[in-house]
Each structure stands twice: as C-alpha cells, then as structure tokens.
Amino acid sequence: MSSAVGLGAIKVTRGAPIGEALAGLMLTVPAGLAYLVMLLLPTMATILLAFTDYELGLPDWNWIGLGNFTEMFEDRGFGVALRNTIIYVGFVTPLSILLGLGIALLIESGIRGRATFRAIFFLPVVSLTVAMAAAWQYLLHPTIGPLNGLLRAIGVSSPPYWLSSSDWVLLSLSAIGIWENIGYNMVLFLAGLTAIPRELYHAAEVDGTKTWLDRFRLVTWPLLGPTTLFVLTITMIRSIRVFDTVAVLTQGGPNKASEVLLHTMYKEGFTFLRLGYSAAITLVFLVMVLGLVWLQTKALDKRVHYG
C-alpha cells in the first residue's frame, strides 16, 4: 500500500511541471497573439508597402524598390517637415525636461499646497489634446485672444499672429508642446527625488556642502541619472511624434511653416491615398526614433549612476 501511494506521489510530482508549463503557455498566448496582430504584422506590412507604389483603393500595385525613398529625399516638402520636426524636438525636449525638473525640486522642497501644484501641472497630461488645442486657439487668437490683449495693454501695438505667421507658428506649437510635457516629466522626477535617501543629504552637510546648489550638484543630480535618462528618452519620443496640435491648430501651415513628419505621413496616406509613400515616411520616422534612442543610450548610459 505504501509503495503504491509513493508511486502515485511520484507521478503527480512529475506531472506538475508540465501542468505549470501548459498554464504559463496558455496565459502567454493572448499577449503573444496581440503582439503579433497589433504590432509585428502591421510593422512588417509597413516595411513591405514602403517599397511599393500602392495607392488606397486601387487593385494593382508594383514593386518599385527604393523609388519612394528617392522621391522622398528629393521632395522639398519632406525636407521642410524634417527640419521643422528637428527644430520642434530641439525646443521641446530640453526645455520641458529642465522646467519639469525645476518644478519637481520646488514641490519636493516642502512648499505649501504640494498636492495642488502637482494636480495643476499634471492637468495637461490627463486632458484631451483636441480640447486643449481649442483652448490654445482662443488664447492665441490675434484679435480676441487674452495673450495679445495683455500685450496691447502693456504697450505692444502690433502683437504677433501666433498661429498664422510663418515666423511664430513653430515657436507657438513648441510652447504648447513644452506645456504638455512639463507635468509628465515633473511626476517622473518627483518619483526619482523621493527615492533618494535623506541620509545622503545629512552626510553631505556634515562634509561641508552648505548651499542647495552644492547638494544638488553632488547628491541629487548624480542619483537622478536613471530617471533623467528615462525622461530624456520618453520626452524625445513624445516630441518627435507631434501630430495632434498641428492637425487641429495649423494643418501644417502657413506655407508649411509648421509641417512635421507625422502630419506629412498622414496627409500622404489618408488625403492623397499614397499608402506606399506614406509607409516609406513611416519607416524613415521609425529609423530616426530608434537611432536617437540608441545614440542617447549609448552616450549617456555609461555615465548614469545606478545606485
């Protein structure tokens, strides 16, 4: 009897890993199918379409190799969109990181109403972009907008046409982008600041660091390295894929002064129905994002202090 029970126990024990593996496989299959259907297959389809002349609605398409890419780099409109995207990223990324860090430091310093300030600055993150764009359209209106009304009140006779001037439209969109990203970066930096042990600041004071600038330079900034690298990566990706505010506020105008890559890609694919050319722009866009992430990780990861 005892030997039979022992053999049964051995069989159950040997079967348990198979059951666990099967359960793990069954739990993984839905996520794997979702990844395959929603990410991998569309990406592969985009890569294939980028080398064709496929137009939406037409039954036939031809394999044209690098024809779309040749046309793209000869197209002045694509060059303008690429330049505007780079300028936009160059404004939004550093300024939103610096301002987000500054606000996080002020809130973490112990000022009154910390929760209120967090909610105020995080509001753009949870707000609908289209609704906030409509609000910005009113604020920046050349005649009835409060901003130009304030400028006239202080003596500026001819305030700028923020969203309809080729000289000001990209700067205006950049300011909106900074406003959108500050709250998100602030929350990330607050999480990084909370994780820094308070004992390190006391130890730094004992070692002679009396000013807040010395404490920031010697303690806070080095230990915020991982958070800063993550914030830089996320902010750059969020900036380079700007689309909503351009589509709602300017549609790329005036005179393509606010045209960006994603808006060009959208127009080529869903206005002119040139899905092959749009896919080629998408592929260039993805290569740019991956290249920027790789470069900044390669350049900064070795300098980051992981405590």
Q: What is the rounded distance in angstroms from the CA atom of residue 237 to the CA atom of residue 90?
A: 12
Domain ranges of the chain: 1-49, 69-303
Tell me, yes or no, if the pTM score tops 0.75. Answer: yes
Quote the crossing angle between the two packed helices 114-126 and 169-194, to the nearest 10°: 130
CB 247 within 8 A of CB 263: yes
SS3 7: helix
CA 122 from centre of chain: 15
How much is the pLDDT for 10? Answer: 44
Q: Is 126 helix (H, G, I), strand (E, B) or coil?
A: helix
Q: Are 230 and 141 in contact (CB under 8 A)?
A: no
For residue 5, the model assigns a pLDDT of 45
Crossing angle of the two packed helices 169-194 and 76-108, in degrees rounded to 10: 40
Chunked into runs of 10 residues, the chain (307 residues) has average pLDDT values of 46 60 87 91 92 88 93 92 95 95 86 74 80 88 92 90 93 94 92 88 81 85 88 92 92 92 94 93 90 80 65
Q: What is the pLDDT of residue 162?
A: 94
Percent of the chain with pLDDT over 90: 53
Instruction: Yes or no: say if 254 and 246 are a contact pair by the CB < 8 Å rule.
Output: no
Which of these CATH numbers, 3.30.930.10, 3.40.50.80, 1.10.3720.10, 2.40.33.20, describes 69-303?
1.10.3720.10
273 class by beta-carbon count within 10 Å (0-12 exposed, 13-18 middle, 19+ buried): middle
pLDDT tens, position by position, 10-28: 444 454 578 788 888 888 9
What span, in angstroms and rounded, lies between the C-alpha atoms of 145 and 249?
Answer: 14
- Give every CB contact of residue 233 below 8 A, 6+ residues apart in sequence: 293, 296, 297
Torsion of CA 179, 185, 190, 196, to 10 degrees: -150
- pLDDT score of 307: 59
User: Tokens standing for 259?
Assistant: 């045209």
For the record, the structure tokens of 129 come out as 């972009």
Give pLDDT tens digits for 121-177: 888 888 888 888 888 999 999 999 999 999 999 988 889 999 999 999 999 999 999
User: Which pLDDT value is given to residue 293?
Assistant: 82
